[in-house]
Chains A and B, each alone.
Chain A
């Protein structure tokens, strides 16, 4: 037996002990229970099948998080296509009153592109460092920093505008 068997075992242990974290991340994208559960399940299946891709146990978390995020983003894209054809008007038009109250980062996530969402979730909810985010997203660390700050700025302007009723 090689270390592949051991890594697979460590992956299972990692999945069992971190499932709630996965769910929170998935939920932040999907914003409903059934979709979040589907995302977690699909990610776990993918990861277990691809466990040979784990080079060293210490990278399991980075590796799995990347799978989880890619699955979430794919899912969101698919759903968006379906929703757009159905109820486009609801998305663009209505719901203005609701927006006045409870403005915060968590809800503001909905207005971001999937990739932008990822940066916010990893940085502000999962408390990751820029260097780990760069590894997970396979991006240059400076790009990660610049993008994160520019999203924050964008959100702040949006929120302030809405609070002032503009």
Chain B
């Protein structure tokens, strides 16, 4: 079969492919944004009247509410702000989560400042990259007007994993249209009762590295379809002390490995739930 396989691998990839893919993604994104703006206004208008009761009834409901700009601020514990930043080189759509109504104002401020700092830093880096991209484009014969069409787009958004009496767990993520490799992820795991951030030691005990390592290894051995790197299979391999993690709806720790950390990049960020 090798000869057939080679012929298949040799299929010439046309230059237009990459451009076409990027254009298609961009066009769909624009349509999506247009649709979202419309529905938001309709939903905001419809909901304003009905909605005065407290929001902690159901997470799904609270999530829906938080998506509507005007109402967002009423939702307890986690709200958000949305805005668009635009420069000559970059358009960024930012949705930042904000913690609210925690017991301790100082802790609340600290977390919100951390998030804001992260977002600012991300946007600054994206801007820098976009400037380089624009310069490269102009230097290779592109025009100012042409660049307007292919401006770098960046996005900052978040996803919530747990919202309970004990834990508020969410992730802030960002990426831009220059390359998927620049995606960034930051996890926030708040102990809302005691106004501090959860760490793995509190959640899994003194020997948390051993606990995680055992469980991850056991689960990896069942994933027969994944080829893990050789060094990961060695007996002295351990989970990093500073591994990313979140807390899921069942209150369990889920560790998240970086892309390429355990296996080939196309598998993305591999996650393992740690059951204690």
Residues of A at the B interface (CB closer than 8 Å) are 1-3, 5-6, 9-10, 12-20, 23-24, 27-28, 33, 37, 40-41, 44-45, 48-49, 57, 61, 104-106, 124-125, 129, 132
Contact = CB atoms under 8 A, between A and B. Distances in A.
Interface stretch (B21-29, B40-48, B193-201, B204-212): B21-29
B114 to A, nearest CB: 19
Interface residues of B, number: 38
Interface string B208-232: 0000000000000000010000000
A19 B175 contact: no
Contact of B3 (A49, A61, A104): A104
Contact of B25 (A15, A124, A129): A15
Contacts of B175: 9, 13
A124 B1 contact: yes
Contact of A125 (B5, B18, B160, B183): B5
Contacts, number: 96
Nearest to B18: A19
A12 B25 contact: yes
Interface of B: 1, 3-5, 7-9, 11-14, 16-18, 20-22, 24-25, 28, 63, 66-67, 80, 95, 155, 157-160, 173, 175, 180, 183, 225, 265-266, 268
A129 B224 CA distance: 11
A9 B28 contact: no
Contacts of A17: 180, 265-266
Nearest to B22: A16
Given A13-B175, A104-B4, A125-B5, A23 B11 contact: yes
Contacts of B7: 104, 106
Nearest to B8: A125
Contacts of B17: 19-20, 23, 37, 40
A63 to B, nearest CB: 14
